Amino acid sequence: MTADKPLRADAQRKREALLATARKVAAAGEFFDLRFDDFASLAGVGTGTLYRHFPTREALAEAVYRGEVATLCDRARHLQATRPAAEALATFLRGMVDHMDTHQGLARTLATLWADHSSALAEGSQALEQAVTDLVAAAVKAGTVRDDVDAGAVMMALHGIGAAYDRPRWRAEADDVITLVLDGLRRPRSEG
């Protein structure tokens, strides 16, 4: 299916139903427990519709991933436009931990599907890094964040948080890491 031609309203609704079903199944950690055709019946569409929109399980997972990344990037832009720079950055980073916590099953599903390093995964990572870069740059410009640490270090901390999801106290420790990152980014007050 090409991205050039807009979908009819009914086709778009069916595509969204498939994506919503895939997100729900992946979040429950059951993405591999179903036959691929089962996604169609769970979404209330025909198998022809499934294959027309997503010819493979990987294509469906990639579309879910792209949607998640787009949502996160939109959130970063919204925060940057509506909040003071330091608050926007802190809110986004804490929201990323919330997102990781809520979507652990989806993250594991995607990691399993793309063990061979998909280009979609790389593109998504670049888009998220750009969103974080923009938030950090705005906070640096506002004078609230140090200018000697770049967004790559923040992304590394986020990747580390995500990779450690199986720790018993993951959520509390993840929140602590974000606090450490934010404290480390804070521009020191000049002594008078």
For 137-183, how does the pLDDT look when each residue is reduced to its tens digit (9 = 90+)?
Answer: 999 999 999 999 889 999 999 989 988 888 999 999 999 999 999 99
Q: Report the predicted TM-score, pTM, of the whole model to 2 decimal places.
A: 0.84
Residue with the two structure tokens 């330091």: 86
Whole-number Å distance between alpha carbons of 191 and 79 = 31
Containing structural domain, residue 113: 58-185
Domains contained in the chain, number: 2
The confidence score (pLDDT) of residue 112 equals 67
CATH of the domain at 8: 1.10.10.60
In this structure, are 89 and 106 located in the same domain? yes
Using CA of residue 103, residue 109, residue 112, residue 116, what is the dihedral sign? negative
Domain boundary among 55, 78, 100: 55
CA 18 from chain centre, in angstroms, equals 19
In this structure, are 43 and 110 located in the same domain? no
The confidence score (pLDDT) of residue 121 equals 73
3-class SS string, the chain: CCCCCCCCHHHHHHHHHHHHHHHHHHHCCCCCCCCCCHHHHHHCCCHHHHHHHCCCHHHHHHHHHHHHHHHHHHHHHHHHHHCCHHHHHHHHHHHHHHHHHHCHHHHHHHHHHCCCCCHHHHHHHHHHHHHHHHHHHHHHHCCCECCCCCHHHHHHHHHHHHHCCCCCCHHHHHHHHHHHHHHHHECCCCCC
Q: What's the pLDDT tens digit per position in 55-102?
A: 998 889 889 888 988 999 999 999 999 999 999 999 999 999 999 888
Whole-number Å distance between alpha carbons of 184 and 124 = 26
In this structure, are 9 and 82 located in the same domain? no
Confidence of residue 117 (pLDDT cuts 50, 70, 90): low
Whole-number Å distance between alpha carbons of 167 and 117 = 24
Asked if pLDDT for residue 10 goes beyond 80, the answer is: yes
CATH of the domain at 130: 1.10.357.10
In this structure, are 150 and 72 located in the same domain? yes
Residue 34 lies in a domain: yes
In this structure, are 69 and 114 located in the same domain? yes
Asked if pLDDT for residue 123 goes beyond 90, the answer is: no
Residue 190 lies in a domain: no
In this structure, are 133 and 146 located in the same domain? yes
Domain boundary among 10, 27, 55: 55
Closest CA to 137 of 147, 129, 123: 147
- And the tokens for 184? 């480390």
The confidence score (pLDDT) of residue 119 equals 73
